[in-house]
Amino acid sequence: MTRAFSISLRLTAAAVATLAVLSLSGCLYAQIPTGSPSDAPSAGTETDAPADGPSGSTLTFAEGLDLTSDTYIEWGDGLVVDDGWKIVAPDDGNGGWTYGTVDGTCTARFWQGHTTDVAVVPGDDSASSDAILGVLLQMPTADITPPATTGEFSYMAGGNGGVETRQVVGVDGSRTWLMAARAFTQTGVGLSVIVDCTAGDAEATMAKINEENAVVVTP
């Protein structure tokens, strides 16, 4: 058995355990850093898109290092107007909330908040994004990086893409899952989403989420 295959099996086992706990508890792991940026809006005020935003159409890992420390970063809430999704768990006050497809086959668990309890690497948004995945999967970052791939969230408006992320995916029978995260080391915050599908394709569902939902950045 190769090391890569062994890591993949460990990731799948850890993810299934994680998702099982999430399904039972209805909330994100307590280990995920709680709180939100100091000037965060009150619960339930996520925005679809800002009135004004930064220039550029991408936010790569390298471009994230150009952000100022007081840049405000949050999830938009494009799924609220999509009749294919419903709220499964409202904002829990700790930066987490969950949507589910109306047919009950998939959930999307969003988180935004400070990365205080994450082993971030200053000046390295990619490695720090892997560290968020490590918290989600309760695994060392060193075990996350080899199987993780670079994906993207949408930037400023759904369908744009452009925000580089790190992600891991897995399959357990008919169940598929995808965990994606982005750390912003200049601002000390991060975002993540866990897509869990008991039927269907988690990666295809993530693509649909990106069509409707975006990361909103306010300088």
- pLDDT tens digits along 16-27: 555 544 443 333
Mean pLDDT rounded to a whole number for the chain:
82
In a domain, 43, yes or no: no
pLDDT of residue 200: 84
Task: In whole angstroms, give the CA distance from residue 58 to residue 20.
Answer: 34
In a domain, 184, yes or no: yes
AA identity, residue 172:
D
In a domain, 86, yes or no: yes
In a domain, 196, yes or no: yes
In a domain, 63, yes or no: yes
In a domain, 169, yes or no: yes
Q: Which residue segment(s) compose the domain that 141 sits in?
A: 3-38+48-218
Burial grade of 16 (CB within 10 A; 0-12, 13-18, 19 or more): middle
Query: What is the pTM for the complete model shown?
Result: 0.80
In a domain, 175, yes or no: yes
Identify the helix (H) or strand (E) that includes residue 152. strand 149-154
AA identity, residue 202:
A
Q: In what order do the strands lie in the sheet with 85-89?
A: 85-89, 96-101, 106-114, 189-197, 175-184, 162-172, 149-154
Task: In whole angstroms, give the CA distance from residue 111 to residue 191.
Answer: 6
Task: In whole angstroms, give the CA distance from residue 127 to residue 121.
Answer: 6
> Residues of the chain whose pLDDT is less than 50?
1-7, 20-53
Task: In whole angstroms, give the CA distance from residue 170 to residue 160.
Answer: 25
pLDDT of residue 87: 97
pLDDT of residue 10: 56
Handedness of CA 44, 216, 111, 207 (dihedral sign): positive
Structural domains in the chain (count): 1
